[in-house]
Chain A
Amino acid sequence: QSALTQPPSASGSPGQSVTISCTGTSSDVGGYKFVSWYQQRPGRAPKLMIFEVSKRPSGVPDRFSGSKSGNTASLTVSGLQAEDEADYYCSSYAGNSNLLFGGGTRLTVL
């Protein structure tokens, strides 16, 4: 199974909105509700930002939202803040308890 496809980079100015896509297949993203997004700052462990496509864990700002259409999931960060600058990874259940990650997107706040 191949990794999910994410754009390598994304950027936006403070206050703007940015959307990061994550494209898979009907065997992973399109077939299951277990699609997640993780934020990773340099030298730090990943942090869960979105689970089950669009749910936010406690403590994650509502500026972060997730959605899915067909085989593509999306993470939208609204009202960009400097602290949002990080790498973002999507993941999806891929059947037989296997998990796929995307290649990661580096978000830059201009």
Chain B
Amino acid sequence: EVQLLESGGGLVQPGGSLRLSCAASGFTSASYAMGWVRQAPGKGLEWVSTINKSGGETYYVDSVKGRFAISRDNSKNTLYLQMDSLRAEDTAVYYCAKDCDEGVLTTEFDSWGQGTLVTVSS
């Protein structure tokens, strides 16, 4: 059974940093692209970032470019999101998600974690 378990969320002041982690199990994570999707309180889903299976290609929504960095450690089956220069508008539940297709980056996610809440406030 595929499982994705996020951690690292919490309360941070504007301008601060957080690193989210997503531990993957139940599948060969090194064979799949992975991504982060966020949902502000009471709002819809917003794609944040995607990384290909090797970690050599990364993609970001414009609003986080230069502030967030996605990475992965396939030896640890773990996905990361380093978030710097955080703003109030980054407040959201952050979900990690697994791409549908082995080996291909489709941006369609067939498994999701339970999410971790990031609150940016003074």
- Asked if A102 contacts B108 (CB within 8 A), the reply is no
Structural contact, A48 and B44, CB atoms closer than 8 A: no
A99-B47 in contact (CB<8A):
yes
Q: Residues of A contacting B61 with CB < 8 Å?
A: 98
| Interface members, chain B 83-110 (any A CB < 8 Å) | 95, 100, 105-110
Q: Mark A26-69, 1 if CB is under 8 A from B, else 0.
A: 00000000101010100001111001100001000000000000
Partner of B44, one of A45, A57, A98, A102: A102
Q: Please measure, in the bound complex, the distance between the C-alpha atom of A36 and the C-alpha atom of B107, giving whole angstroms.
A: 9
Q: For chain B residues 63-86, which have a beta carbon within 8 Å of chain A?
A: none
Known: A51-B100, A91-B108. A45 touches B114 (CB 8 A): yes
Q: How far is the CA of A34 from the CA of B108 in the complex (A)?
A: 7
Tally chain A residues at the interface, Cβ within 8 Å: 24
Contacts of B95 in A (CB 8 A): 45-46
List the A side residues contacting B59 at CB < 8 Å. 96-98
Q: Can you name the residue of chain B whose Cβ is closest to the Cβ of A103?
A: B44
User: Which of B61, B95, B100 has the largest number of chain A CB atoms within 10 A?
Assistant: B100
A104 touches B115 (CB 8 A): no
Tell me the smallest distance from the CB of B114 to a CB of chain A, in Å.
Answer: 6
